[in-house]
Amino acid sequence: MKDNHMNLPNTTMKMPHLRTATGLATGLVMAGATLSAQSTAYWDANGDTAGIGGSGTWDPGTTANWNDASGGTNATSTWTAGDYAVFGGTGGSVTVDGTVAVGGRSGKDGLSFTSGGYTLIGGTIAYTADFNNSSVPVIDFSAGSDDVVIGSDFILDYSIRTNGNGELTVNNSTDNTLELSGDFDFSASNRTQAKWLGFSQQNVGGSIIYSGSTTTSGTETTALRVGYAGVNGANYYITGDNSGLGGGNSADLTRGNVYVEHATALGIGTVRLGNSSAASDTVQLLTNAAIAVDNTIQMAGNTGSTKVVGGGSADNSEFSGKIDLYINATYQHNVQVTAASGGRVDFSGQISDDGGTSGAVEKIGAGVVRFTRATGNDYDGGTTVSAGTLLAMNTSNSATGTGAVSVAAGATLGGTGFVTGSVTADAAGSRFAAGDTGAVGTFTMSGGFTANSGATFAHDISGTSVDVIDFGSAAVAINGVLTFDFSNLSTVETGVVYSLFEGDGTWTDNGASFVFNGPAGYELDSSYGSGDGYIWDAAGNSLTVQFAAIPEPSVSGLAAAGLVGMLAMMRRARRESNK
C-alpha cells in the first residue's frame, strides 16, 4: 500500500498485554536505573549470523536479539533499557513482551526504522530519557521499500524534560505507510508546559496512520500536531478516539491532508488550521467516514495559505462546531469548504469572522455541502461556489453571511433557505436548484439576482408542487437565454400552472429567452400562454409553465404504418423476381 488508506490490510491487532498503573511505573523505574548506557542497538534476530533484522521477541532483558554492530557482525545481547533501537536489514514480525524502555537524548531517535517490512505487536515502549531536542523524532521511518506497522503502546514521560515546551515527533520520510495502532500515554508527565505529539510526513507518496488513542493528565496542555515539519500534499489518517485531549487547543494542523475517521480523532478542544507562516502552504481537514466533528475549527497562521474543511469520502458527515475565520484585527482568514463526489457535508455550526476584517468562503469539490445552521452565518467576505453544490438550509437570516455570492460554470447554488447577499450567475452553466436533494422546496435569494446568458435552473416536480425561486423584493436582471431542467419526483399534473419564479421587486428583461427540458413524458402545453406553454411577465414578477402529456402513438396509426411497410416489401420482392 502506498497512500490508499481504505485498502490497508488489518495487520495491527495488538496482542493481549497487561497495562496497570503499577506495571507502567515499575517499567519506568527499571528503565531509569540504566539510562547511562544510551547506546545504539540494532535489532538482530539472526543471532551471530551476519546481517540484521528478522522476526523475534523484544523483551526487557531476557532474549538476545540485539547487536551493537550495524551489520550484525558481533555477538547478540539482550536489550539494555535506555538504548536507541534501530530496525534495519530484513523486515519481520517483532513481539514486544512487557514494557521496554528506550532513550531519546539529543541527536538520537528513540525508535528508528531504516528498512520497511516490520510489524511490532503488543507490549509497551516507554520513552524515559530527556527529550531536550524536539526536532529529533521519537519514531523515525527513514528508508525502506515496504510499510511499517506498530501495534505497541507508548509511554511518553515529559516530567523529566529539561527545557520547557516541545514536540515528540513521529516521522516518515518514505513513500510507504507508517501505521500506529497503539496508544500514546502522557499521563506519567507532571509538567505544566505545553506538549505535542507530532506527525510529520516528508514524502507525498507515503502516509502516516494513527488509529490509537492519546491520554494525558494533570494541568499540562497536550495536543496533536500534524504536518508542522511535513510537506504539502502529504497524507495523514487520524482514526482513533482522542477525547482525552482538550483544555484549549487539542490539535494543530499545519500542512498536508488530514483525514479523520472518528468524531473525537482531534480531541475535544479547538483545532487550529493552517498554523504556518508560509503563504504557499495548504492544509485540508477532511472527514473520511460518516461522522460528526464538534470541534471549533479556527483558522491560523499566514492569511494567504490555503485552508480546506470538508469531506474526503462518499459519506454523509457533519461539522457542528464553529468555523472561526477571525483571529484578530490584523489576521483575517478565508476558508474553502468541500465534499467529495457522491458525498455530503453539513456545516451546522456558525461560520463567522466575528465582525472583524471580512472573511470569505469558497465551495470546492464535486459533492454537496449544506449550510444547515438555522439562524445562518455571519461572515461578510462573500461566497464563491466554484464546484459541486452548495445548499442553503437555514430558516432565518442568511446562510452565506452578508457578502455577495457568485456561482461559477458547472457549480450549483440552491436549498430551502435564505441568501441575503446579491447573487450572480457568473457564466454559462451556472446552476440554481431550489429544494433539498430529492425534495421540492423554495429557495429565497432576497439580495438581488443577475443571471447571465446560459444560466440553468433545475426544478423538481411532485404532483402539484414544484421547486420555486423566490427573489423577495430584490432587483432581478435576466440577461439572455435561461435553461430549465425538470425532474419528476412522483407525478406531473397536466393542466396545472407551475410557478417557477416569484417576488415583488423590479425585474429587468435584457433579451430574456427560455429553453425548457422535460420532465420525461411531458411537453409544454400549447394551449397555455400564447401557445408556448409558458408565461414570462417581468413587470408582473412571474414565470409560469404548464405541461401536457406527450401523446402515445395510436394503435391504428401503428397498424397503418406496419401495413405500408409490408406492401413496400412485397413490391420490392416482385421487382426482384421479374429481373
| Amino acid at site 556 | S
Q: Return the pLDDT at 145.
A: 93
Residue pair 337/347 in contact by the 8 Å Cβ criterion: yes
Determine the length of the chain: 579
| Rg of the chain on CA atoms, in Å | 32
Other C-beta atoms within 10 Å of 572: how many? 9
CA distance 469 to 474: 12
CA distance 121 to 116: 15
DSSP calls for 249-284: EEEEE-SEEEEE-STTTT-SSEEEE---S-TT-EEE
Render pLDDT for 477-519 as a digit per residue (tens, 0 to 9).
Answer: 999 999 999 999 999 999 999 999 999 999 999 999 999 998 9
Render pLDDT for 426-463 as a digit per residue (tens, 0 to 9).
Answer: 888 999 999 998 899 999 999 999 999 999 999 999 99
Q: Return the pLDDT at 229.
A: 87
Residue 18 has pLDDT above 70, yes or no: no
**Residue range 244-264: mean pLDDT, rounded:** 92
Beta carbons within 8 Å of 464's beta carbon, 6+ residues apart: 493, 496
- Give the three cell numbers for residue 381: 467576505
Residue 156 has pLDDT above 70, yes or no: yes
Residue 16 has pLDDT above 90, yes or no: no
Residue pair 422/404 in contact by the 8 Å Cβ criterion: yes
Decide which of 547 and 26 is more confident: 547
Render pLDDT for 75-90 as a digit per residue (tens, 0 to 9).
Answer: 999 999 989 999 999 9
Residue pair 348/320 in contact by the 8 Å Cβ criterion: yes
Decide which of 120 and 567 is more confident: 120
Chain position carrying cell 474526503: 312
Q: Return the pLDDT at 15.
A: 33
- Give the three cell numbers for residue 404: 455577495
Q: What are the DSSP E strand ranges found in 27-186?
A: 40-43, 56-58, 66-67, 84-87, 93-96, 99-102, 111-113, 119-121, 124-127, 139-141, 148-150, 153-156, 166-172, 177-180, 184-185
Q: Return the pLDDT at 3.
A: 47
Q: Return the pLDDT at 143.
A: 96
Q: Return the pLDDT at 277.
A: 79
Residue 182 has pLDDT above 80, yes or no: yes
Render pLDDT for 403-415 as a digit per residue (tens, 0 to 9).
Answer: 999 999 999 999 9
Strands 40-43 and 66-67: antiparallel
Q: Return the pLDDT at 503.
A: 98
Strands 542-545 and 534-537: antiparallel
Q: Return the pLDDT at 50.
A: 79
Residue pair 416/389 in contact by the 8 Å Cβ criterion: no
Beta carbons within 8 Å of 520's beta carbon, 6+ residues apart: 488
- 206: confidence class by pLDDT, cuts 50, 70, 90: very high
Mean pLDDT across the chain: 86
Residue 361: phi and psi, rounded to 5, are -125, 135
CB-count exposure of residue 541 (10 Å: 0-12, 13-18, 19+): middle
Most confidently modeled range among 8-17, 107-116, 154-163: 107-116
Residue 224: phi and psi, rounded to 5, are -85, 145
Q: Return the pLDDT at 301.
A: 84
Q: Which helix (H) or strand (E) holds 395?
A: none
Q: Return the pLDDT at 46.
A: 85
Q: Tell me which DSSP letter residue 574 carries.
A: H
**Residue range 30-43: mean pLDDT, rounded:** 60
Q: What are the DSSP E strand ranges found in 393-492?
A: 405-407, 412-415, 418-419, 423-425, 431-434, 442-445, 449-451, 456-463, 465-466, 468-470, 476-492
Q: Return the pLDDT at 333.
A: 86
Decide which of 284 and 155 is more confident: 284
Q: List the beta bridge partners of residue 324.
A: 298, 352
Strands 389-392 and 442-445: unpaired
Q: Tell me which DSSP letter residue 75 carries.
A: P
Residue pair 358/331 in contact by the 8 Å Cβ criterion: no
Q: Return the pLDDT at 258.
A: 98
Under DSSP, is residue 30 helix (H, G, I), strand (E, B) or coil?
helix
Q: Tell me which DSSP letter residue 332 carries.
A: B
Residue 5 has pLDDT above 70, yes or no: no
CA distance 166 to 163: 8
What is the separation of C-alpha 402 from the centre of its chain, rounded to a whole number of angstroms?
26
- 2: confidence class by pLDDT, cuts 50, 70, 90: very low
